[in-house]
Structure 1
Amino acid sequence: MTISRFGEIDGESVDEIDIRAPQSGIEAKVMTWGAVVRDLRVRLGHGRYQRVVLGLNTIEDYVSHSPHMGAIVGRVANRIANGRFTLDGRTWTLTRNQSGRHTLHGGRGFGNRLWRLAAHDESSVTLTLVSPDGEDGFPGTVRVACTYRLLDPGVLRLELEAATDRPTPVNLAHHPYFNLDGEPTIFNHRLSIEADFFTPTDADLIPTGAIVPVSGTPNDFRAHRTIRFPDAKTGAPVHYDINFVLRRDRLDSPPSESPQDNAPPLARAALLSSYINNVSLEVWTTERGLQVYDGGKLDVPVPGLDGVRYGPGAGISLEAQNFPDAINQPAFPDPVLRPGGLYRQITEYRFSRQ
């Protein structure tokens, strides 16, 4: 484990912490800016490693050009319609950072804040953040802790906790972009999702409030298939930025680091794999939803890791979360955190080679 200075924001140092699993099956670089996982490498064998996430090279690039790359997003991940909600009889107006109409990933959000390094060892790092009452228009002071933990042979475990002093919506998500083989796009990766239903959206990607079957739609990933899928009418590839309703029927045995506070068990959410190098990623989570964004609008104007330019489809984001706009949708799971309660999410990214 090493700590190095990555850059500076408003006169404050941005640090980067290098961690690795005890047997070095997986290695990561984590920044205090945005709680970003800037780099993640998994061992292929014979001393070879595969980089499996997208990352940038300077703090200035993250501030100016990062599409939430590797960050923890919140206070509410994804979209809130019209940048407002009503809670306990009062309406709150938020920062509207999507087309001047809607709130995306909390407005300025947690992914654009400097977190505090609270603890670290060779294989884990804990970062904390205080979001003050009124930040981006949200009520209540929220205190957040994020722990990344590496486990052999190839697991990145994420633990998120939050508490508040006033009722407020909380829905945190990790926003990495995965690319398992280093090819220019992930469109030929294969993906399966443990979901029979999804939440359709309007033209602004705001959920309609419906929950509909994936059967007979391009959103049917119940079988392991390539991400590239032709539109039935135009023949053009379908692009994905949609929330799936997880079945949560494939439960895991209790993990070695047992969750506290009666958090639900981990359930398998998705399997992503590359046919080129046979690297696979299983996502296991306590969350009810999985937002899948195929990176179809990526166009990063600066070089990424190893000098690679990230264009459309360079990486896929698999975001374990509550449903988008749940605060405005009575049929969706309640996202409100109240004083005395504890928000807790555990998500594991489990890498292997078939």
Structure 2
Amino acid sequence: MHEVASLPDGRVVHAISLRGGGLRATVLTLGVTVCDLRLDGTAHPLVLGCANIADYLTHGRYVGSVVGRYANRIAGARFELDGQAHQLDANFRDRHILHGGSDGVDGWIWQVRDIGVDRVIFELSLPDGHMGFPGNLQIVAELSLQDGALCFDFSAVADKATPCSLAHHGFFNLDGGKDICDHELRIDAESYLPVDDDLIPLADPSMVRNGRFDFRAPKRIGGDGYDHNFCLRDSGGECPVVAELSGKGGLVMQVETDARGLQLYDGAHFDGLRGIGGRVYGRNAGLALETQHWPDAPNRSDFPDAILRPGQTYRHRVNYRFQQRAPRRS
């Protein structure tokens, strides 16, 4: 572990180098951010990362980081729990909360509990009332490289009932090209959540049924403006393969998780962010596949429960597993 930068507010950021399972990763203590990921035998990075670490706090926010205490959006930046209303930080369009608020966990310096050659364990404590959320929240995030996979194992406990959903917000590009529009994607989901103009879920989940959201068979992503939650089956605590992303060069990434939701976001917002190795990220430069609770679940009793209560332990696992296959034929 070595110091790599001081942020404008004086906080010091350290970088940790990991190697294992045919992968090499650089992870920052700022937001548990995977700022670089390489596969042995592949020349280009597999993820997007900022050239300037301070950019992770501004127009490079969420790139490669962990987000929470509640990933995705909660409508109106408020929810009611056990008869009590909670007003949250409205950091998204001044109306809703996104990824835990303006001071979400992606902008915190996490403490390192343990480091090995191929793994690191981080911990973070959020105080009661932070961003409007009830309860002191103690979070542990273990990141490891094993069997060709970048693996996350999250856990958390709280002393009051509180929404809790942690997610890795990496942006992947398997070909190293300017965008991911020619990547093909398969998602093992029969339904997704339609959203309004503020990206808040509308009514019930809709069936994908042969429309633009039907990724049950692999298809080209294109530039269709995806930022939607896909509704995964209850795996009973197992980590099945729920999605598979493939580049034209034959590199494949499988997503394995025990989560009930998968947010597909095609990186439409990128507009000149300076990245790894002198790259400049434009529209659709990378694809995010965020495993998490469903957006706005604290306001939706018909959605899978996203409340962590005292005496319970929040758990969430996700593996991003890479392998090289034959290049795709045009």
TM-score scaled by length of structure 1:
0.89
Partners of 2:224 and 2:29 in 1: CA distance: 35
Counterpart position of 1:19: 18
1:281 to 249, 253, 269: 253
1:321 CA drift (Å): 0.6
RMSD over aligned Cα atoms: 1.3
Paired residues of 1:209 and 1:331 also in contact (CA < 8 A)? no
Tell me, in whole angstroms, the C-alpha distance in 2 between the residues paired with 1:176 and 1:209.
28
1:244: which partner in 2? 230
Work out the percentage of aligned pairs sharing the same amino acid.
41
Q: Shift of residue 181 of structure 1?
A: 1.0
In the other structure, the counterpart of 2:145 is: 150
1:39 aligns with 2:36: yes
CA distance in 2, matches of 1:189, 1:246: 21
Taking the TM superposition and a 5 Å limit, the aligned residue runs for 1:85-124 are 85-107=79-101, 108-124=103-119
Q: Does 1:202 align with 2:196?
A: yes
Map 1:1-354 → 2, pairs under 5 A: 3-9=1-7, 10-21=9-20, 25-44=22-41, 48-107=42-101, 108-152=103-147, 154-228=148-222, 237-247=223-233, 264-275=237-248, 277-301=249-273, 303-354=274-325
Offset from partner CA, 1:226-272 (integer Å, 9 cap, x none):
101xxxxxxxx5210000011357xxxxxxxxxxxxx7010111000
Q: Counterpart amino acid of 1:129?
A: L
Shift of 1:339: 0.7
CA shift, 1:207, in A, is 0.4
**Quick one: distance in 2 between partners of 1:17 and 1:288?**
30
Deviations 1:43-89 (A, max 9, x none): 23xxx443100001222121222130011100100000000000000
User: 2:144, 2:99 → 1: CA distance?
Assistant: 24
Runs of 4+ residues over 4 Å off in structure 1: none
Query: Contact conserved, 1:133 with 1:142, CA < 8 A, in 2?
Result: yes
User: What TM-score results when the alignment is normalised by the length of structure 2?
Assistant: 0.95
Give unmatched runs, 5+ long, in structure 2: 326-330
User: Unmatched 5+ residue regions in structure 1?
Assistant: 229-236, 250-262
> In 1, are the aligned partners of 2:55 and 2:61 still within 8 Å (CA)?
no
Distance 2:14 2:269 in 1: 29
- The 1-side partners of 2:316 and 2:281 are apart by 29
One-letter code aligned to 1:26: L
SS in 2 for 1:296: coil
Aligned residues of 1:295 and 1:315 also touching (Cα < 8 A): yes
Secondary structure at the counterpart of residue 15 of structure 2: strand
